[in-house]
Chains A and B, each alone.
Chain A
């Protein structure tokens, strides 16, 4: 038996050039050592070297497939409409995040953003009047749903309002946030982001996605606005199911 043991992950990291120098030197020695253990190590190492090369070769032809013209054109269009690049050197330690109000997409959508302020999800003339916002952040029933409903699932409140949990993520300030869709009893619908401030759920964004079929305004870019908001606020990636469950459970403690 060799004195030093190497795991599959050691061998893989060696094959990928990621093994720490001292471990790599020890592995070099082991590979040069006793015939039988060295052979076993070498065989195992070859597995990782070979699979890397094999995967790269096997998927290389996919790069030769022609890219649809519309994708290339979209990049060019976006580049053409973008603000001219500035060459000012930024402070490197600070992540540069474009303020939300600079986003052209967000600006084009009416009734979009209400950061804690009183907000109208529908025009004042829309039939049925504005959707009540009370349940968004303060209603205990909604809060309970936000704290317990796993993403991808739906719940219906006692007043008929339906909530679909979309995802859970961390905001840049590390607050736990949930993206969810709300469909009111009057068919008004919006997608919203609420974050938990340690005490309660606070709504940070609501974007109307569709209104009644009797002709009220339907903004087309609502999900783009949401995307723009998530990018602009440096929202973290959606948590995996188990991470989400743990983070939500922590709120109830």
Chain B
């Protein structure tokens, strides 16, 4: 018998792992975090409001599990540089070498951001949560989310040397990245 909640959860496992990895920066700990999230999601599923996004609800559980974990162990997991982790094999053949290198370096720069900036980038730019949803995940006011996110993006653009010529506007596609 199929359980749509479980199916949705399985579909989101890659996103949960990505978020977990960006939060804890250790692959082993990330999978532990995802597992704890899955367990808590089932024991607390009655608390999920289907009118809201399941991924935002799960990210919140995962992040709280991470905070618990840090406080219990009083250590910051082993920090590995996940930028050095092997790339997924599927590289779009149309991408130039330069693009691949730039994305790799962008990933490294995102990983170098302070944790509070990294997580807002993840939630909003990557997972496409709204500011309000991200504020709910992080338990902070929307204003805090916005100031962190702006700082994170300015830092990222500086690190990447992005200096877009004004001619690119109003062509807002912005997907030359």
Contacts and interface: CB of A to CB of B under 8 A. Distances in A.
B162 A50 contact: yes
A117 interface: no
Contacts of A232: 43-44
Interface string A88-116: 00001001111000010100000000000
B125 A51 contact: yes
B110 A231 contact: no
B81 to A, nearest CB: 14
Nearest to B47: A97
B contacts with A: majority SS = helix
A62, A98, A167, most chain B CB atoms within 10 A: A62
Contact of A82 (B3, B15, B31): B3
B67 A65 contact: no
B107 A65 contact: no
B6 A76 contact: yes
A184 interface: no
Contacts of B130: 18
A42 B166 contact: yes
A56 B126 contact: yes
Contact of A55 (B88, B156, B164, B165): B156
Given A50-B162, A67-B13, A227 B43 contact: yes
A246 interface: no
Nearest to A12: B150
B119 to A, nearest CB: 12
B24 interface: no
A contacts with B: majority SS = helix
Given A55-B121, A59-B122, A236-B139, A43 B40 contact: no
B107 A67 contact: no
Nearest to A103: B43
B88 A64 contact: yes
Contacts of A147: none
Contacts of B125: 51-52, 55-56
A79 B14 contact: no
A71 B146 contact: no
Contacts of B177: 50, 53-54, 57-58
Nearest to A32: B170
B131 A18 contact: yes
A59 B110 CA distance: 9
B97 interface: no
Contacts of A68: 31
A75 interface: yes
A52 B160 CA distance: 13
Contacts of A198: none
A61 interface: yes
Nearest to A62: B18
Nearest to B99: A57
B162 A96 contact: no
Nearest to B44: A231
Interface in B121-173: 121-122, 124-126, 128, 130-131, 139, 146-147, 149-150, 153-154, 156-157, 160, 162, 164-166, 168-170, 172
Nearest to B14: A63
B23 interface: no
A48, A58, A70, A232, most chain B CB atoms within 10 A: A58
Interface of A: 8-9, 12-13, 16, 18, 31, 39, 42-43, 45-59, 61-65, 67-68, 70-72, 74-76, 78-79, 82, 85, 92, 95-98, 103, 105, 151-152, 166-167, 224, 227-228, 231-232, 234, 236-238
> What 9 A-B pairs come out closest when comparing CB atoms?
A79-B6, A42-B169, A231-B44, A49-B174, A58-B106, A46-B164, A64-B88, A51-B153, A55-B125
10 contacts: A8-B150, A46-B174, A48-B150, A50-B174, A51-B153, A54-B162, A74-B38, A103-B43, A224-B39, A234-B47
